[in-house]
Structure 1
Amino acid sequence: MLDFMDYVLASFHTTSRWNVDNSYASLTTTATNLLDFNIPQGLRLHVSSLSAPTFATSYTLGNQGVVDGSLSFLYSSLALRVASRSSHVPLANLVRGYRHLQQLSAPTHSKASSATISPEHPERKDTLLYGRLYLPTSTLEALYLRRLSPTRLLRLSCVSDGTLPSGGTILALVQNDYGKYSTEYLYSTDSSLLGFRALYNFGYDPRYPLDQQHVSPRHPRHPWDHQNGRLSAGAEAYFSPINKSGGISTGLRFTTLPIHTGFPYTMTLTLNPLMGNLSSTYAVKAGPNLALCSRFDFNVYSYESDVSLGLELWRRSTTPEDVRWVKDMIRPGWELRPRDESVNGVLKAQVTDKAKVGLVWECRVKELLVSLGAGFDLKKRDRMLGRVGVEVGYSS
C-alpha cells in the first residue's frame, strides 16, 4: 500500500497533468505491482496530515529490530485538493495493482495554471519539495520536482548518509514527454553515472489531429492504432567513466486501452543483452475484482530460469448494483467505472517456482488503513515462516 507521501506525490503528477506511464522506466509497472509488492515487516505506525493544500507532514514509528522512525515534510506550489482523511481516501488510489493505461494526450499545463496563463502572465512552473529524516540513523532524503515546461520535468533526488561514499549521493533526472515519445537523461554523483532512456509509441500521434494523420477511428492503419491497444518500444543505456562499466536494455509493451471491449491485458518483453537476461510478463484483468499476472525470466548464458505467478483479488460489498455491474463487465469501459465506495479490502498473493510465497491483505478498519503480510519459504520445513508484519496508517 502506498504511504501517505507517495499518495500526495501521485496527486501532484495528476494535478500537474504529467503522464508517469509514458516512460521506459514504467514499462513493466503492472507486473511489478502484481508480483513484487512489499511485505510488511514488524509493526509500523504511520500518522500523516495534509494540513493545507500545499503542505503535508508524516510521522512513522516502527520496531524493526530496534525502535526506529522517520519525519517527512512536503511542500507543493500547486494546490493539491485531494481526499486526505484515511477514512475517505479510495483504496484504489493507495493499492498498487493492475495499471490501466489511458489514450495518449498532448502535453499541457497543470489544471491550475492552464486557466491563468496569458501573454501578461508567464508560464507557471509547478514545484514540489520533499524531505525525510530517518531516526536514529540520521539519514536524510530529499526530493525536488519542477515542471520546466508542459513537456519537461526536472527531478533531483538526494541522500545524505555517513555510510555512503562522500557522505551521500545526488541523482539528477530530466524527463521529456512529447506524447508520441519520451526521453530521459540522468546523472548520478555515485561513480559519475550517465544514462539515457527513450520510449516510442507506435501509431496515433496525440500532437496532431486525426485528419492530419490519415487515420480513421473505424479503419486504423495498424491494429495498435488508436483503437484497442498501444504498442510501445524503448531502450536505456548507462555508463560510468570512473568504473569503466555500463549497461543497456531494451523492451516492448502492448496494452489494451479503455475502448477495448474484452478483458484488459498487458504484455511486456525486456532484454538485457550484456547480462543475457530475458524477461516476459503477461497480466490480465480477468474481472472487476480479479487480476492475474505471470513472469518468465531466462538467462541465455547460464540457462537459469525463474517463473513467478501473482494474483490480486478485491473484496467488495454485494449490492444489486454490483451484480448488474458484473453481468455487463464485457462492455467497453467496464474496468474504469469507480466502485471505490464498495471496496472492503484487497488480497495480493505471489508464488515462485522456488516455492516462495508472499501474501498481503490491505483493508480499511474504521478510520485506519491496515496492511497485513507474510512471506513463506516452503522448502525450509524447519523455518517456513519468514517475513511477517503489520502496518497501520492514519491521516487527516
Structure 2
Amino acid sequence: MLGFMDYIQRAFYDATHWNIDNSYGSLTATAQNLLDFDTPRGLRLNVSSLASPQMGTSYAVGTVGLVDGSISYLYSSLPLSKSSKSTEIQLEEVIQGYRHLQDLRTPDQSWWWERWQGGRRTDRKNTLMYGRMFLPRGTLEALYLRRISPTRQLRLSCVSDSALNNGGTVLGLVQNDHGKYCTEYLYSTDSGLCGIRGLYNFGPDPRIAAQDQESDDMREPVHGRFSAGAELYYGILNKSGGASLGLRFTTLPQHAGFPYTMTLTLNPLMGNLSSTYAVKAGRNLALCSRFNFNFYSYESDFQLGCELWRRQVPNDADIAWAKNKIRPEWIDGSASPTDDVSGVLKARVDQDWRIGLLWEGRFKEMLFTLGGLIDLKRRERIVGAIGVEFQYSS
C-alpha cells in the first residue's frame, strides 16, 4: 500500500499531467506490484495530515527491535485537490495492483502553461519538496521535484547517512516525456554513476493532431501497445558499467478480452533474462508469473502470484462482468462511488516454497496492511516475519 507521502506525490503527478507509466523504469510495474510486494514487520502506525492543499506532514512509529520512527514534511507549489482523509481515500488509489495502462495522451502545449497579468508573465514552474528524518538513527532523505516544461521534469533525491560513503549521496534525474517516446538522464554522486535510458512506444503518435489523422469513424481502434526500451550506465570512479534491454506488450481499454501484460528484460553483461505474464482473469482476480534465467550459470527461478479483490457489490455484478468480459466503467475508472473496494488479498510463492501473504483494506477510520512470510522448507520455523501497519490521515 502506498504511504501517505507517496500518495500525495501521485496527486502532484496527476495535477501536472505527468504519466508515470511512460518510462523504462516502470516497464515491469505490473509484475512488481503482484510479486514484489513488501510485507510489514512488527507493528507500525502512520499518522498524516494535509493541513492545506499545499502542505503535508506525516509521523510514523514502529516496534521492530528498538522503537523507531520518522517525521516527514511535504510542500507543493500547486494546490492539490485529492482527498487526504483515510476514510475517503479510494483503496484503488493506494493499493498497488494490476496496472491498466491507458492510451497515450498528447503532451500539453507550452503556451497552455502561460499566465499573463498586466502584460507580464506570472506563471511559475510547479515544484514539490519533501523531506524525512528517521529516528533514532538521524538519517535524512529529501526529494526535489520540478516540472520544467510540459514534457520535462527534474528530480533530485538526496540521502544523508554516516554509514554511506562521503556521508551521503545525491541522485539527479532529468525526465523527458513526449508521449510517443521518453528519455531519462541520470547522475549519482555514488561512484560518479552516469546513465541514460529510454522507452519507445510503437503505434499511433499522440502528438499528431486529430485533424491530421483519419476520422474516428474510419480509424481502426488500437487494442494493445508494444513498447521497447533500454538503459546504459557507467560508474566513473569504479570504472564499471551495465546495460539492459526490455520489451512490453499490454492491452488497452479498447481490448474486448481479458486485460494482460507481457514483459521480457535482458541484462547481457550479467546474463540475466526475465519474462513475466500478468492477466486480469476476472473482475476481482489477477494472476502473474515470472521466470528468471541466467545463461552464464544456468540457474533459474520461478514465481507465481495473485491478487483477489473484495468488493461491496452484489454477486450479480460479477456475473454481468463475466458475460460482457469487460465493463466500460471499470476500465475507464468511472465506477460509481457505491462500487467500493473493501480489501485485497495478495499471495506469492516461488520454487523453494517460500510464500508471502498480504491483506490490505480499511478498518474503521484507518487503512491497514497485514502480512507475513511462510517458508515450508524450514520445519523448525515455518512462519517468518509477521506484521501489521495502520495509516490514519486527515
Deviation at 1:107, TM superposition (A): 1.5
Map Cα deviations across residues 267-296 of structure 1 (whole Å, 9 max, x no partner).
Answer: 100000001100000111111111111101
Tell me if 1:289 matches 2:297. no
Q: Matched residue of 1:308: which SS?
A: strand
Q: Matched residue of 2:142: which SS?
A: strand
Distance 1:85 1:344, change over 3 A: same
Map 1:221-236 onto structure 2 (within 5 A).
Answer: 227-236=222-231
Residue of structure 2 equivalent to 1:223? none
Map 1:302-321 onto structure 2 (within 5 A).
Answer: 302-319=297-314
Output the CA distance in 2 between the equivalents of 1:325 and 1:72: 45
Tell me if 1:383 matches 2:381. yes
Distance 1:329 1:69, change over 3 A: farther
Q: Matched residue of 1:102: which SS?
A: coil
Q: Tell me, yes or no, if the aligned pair for 2:46 and 2:391 is still in contact at 8 Å.
A: yes
Residue of structure 2 equivalent to 1:130? 130
Output the CA distance in 2 between the equivalents of 1:148 and 1:35: 34
Deviation at 1:158, TM superposition (A): 0.2
Distance 1:249 1:320, change over 3 A: closer
Task: Kindly tell me the number of residue pairs found equivalent between the two proteins.
Answer: 389
Deviation at 1:211, TM superposition (A): 5.7
Q: Matched residue of 1:39: which SS?
A: coil
Map Cα deviations across residues 332-371 of structure 1 (whole Å, 9 max, x no partner).
Answer: 6353242564211100000111111000001101101111
Mark the runs of 5 or more structure 2 residues left unpaired by the alignment: none
Q: Tell me, yes or no, if the aligned pair for 1:33 and 1:96 is still in contact at 8 Å.
A: yes
Q: Tell me, yes or no, if the aligned pair for 1:92 and 1:340 is still in contact at 8 Å.
A: no
Deviation at 1:121, TM superposition (A): 2.5
Q: Tell me, yes or no, if the aligned pair for 1:260 and 1:333 is still in contact at 8 Å.
A: no
Q: Matched residue of 1:96: which SS?
A: coil
Deviation at 1:326, TM superposition (A): 2.6
Map 1:1-396 onto structure 2 (within 5 A).
Answer: 1-108=1-108, 114=112, 117-118=115-116, 120-121=120-121, 123-210=123-210, 212=212, 220=220, 227-319=222-314, 322-323=317-318, 325-331=320-326, 333=328, 335-336=330-331, 337-338=334-335, 341=338, 342-396=340-394
Deviation at 1:322, TM superposition (A): 3.0
Q: Matched residue of 1:31: which SS?
A: helix
Map Cα deviations across residues 297-354 of structure 1 (whole Å, 9 max, x no partner).
Answer: 0110111111111101101123377356535542463532425642111000001111
Deviation at 1:124, TM superposition (A): 3.2
Distance 1:20 1:253, change over 3 A: same
Q: Matched residue of 1:12: which SS?
A: helix
Q: Tell me, yes or no, if the aligned pair for 1:91 and 1:340 is still in contact at 8 Å.
A: no
Higher alpha-carbon deviation: 161-170 or 113-122: 113-122
Map Cα deviations across residues 169-214 of structure 1 (whole Å, 9 max, x no partner).
Answer: 0000000000110000000000000000000001110111356456
Distance 1:356 1:109, change over 3 A: farther
Output the CA distance in 1 between the equivalents of 2:275 and 2:219: 30
Output the CA distance in 1 between the equivalents of 2:77 and 2:171: 22
Q: Tell me, yes or no, if the aligned pair for 1:217 and 1:227 is still in contact at 8 Å.
A: no
> Which residue identity is paired with 1:242?
L
> Which residue identity is paired with 2:335?
P
Q: Matched residue of 1:322: which SS?
A: helix
Output the CA distance in 1 between the equivalents of 2:392 and 2:326: 37
Distance 1:109 1:122, change over 3 A: farther
RMSD between aligned alpha carbons? 2.0
Distance 1:206 1:217, change over 3 A: farther
Q: TM-score normalized by structure 2?
A: 0.94
Q: After the TM superposition, which segments of 4 or more aligned residues of structure 1 sit over 6 Å from their partners?
A: 214-217
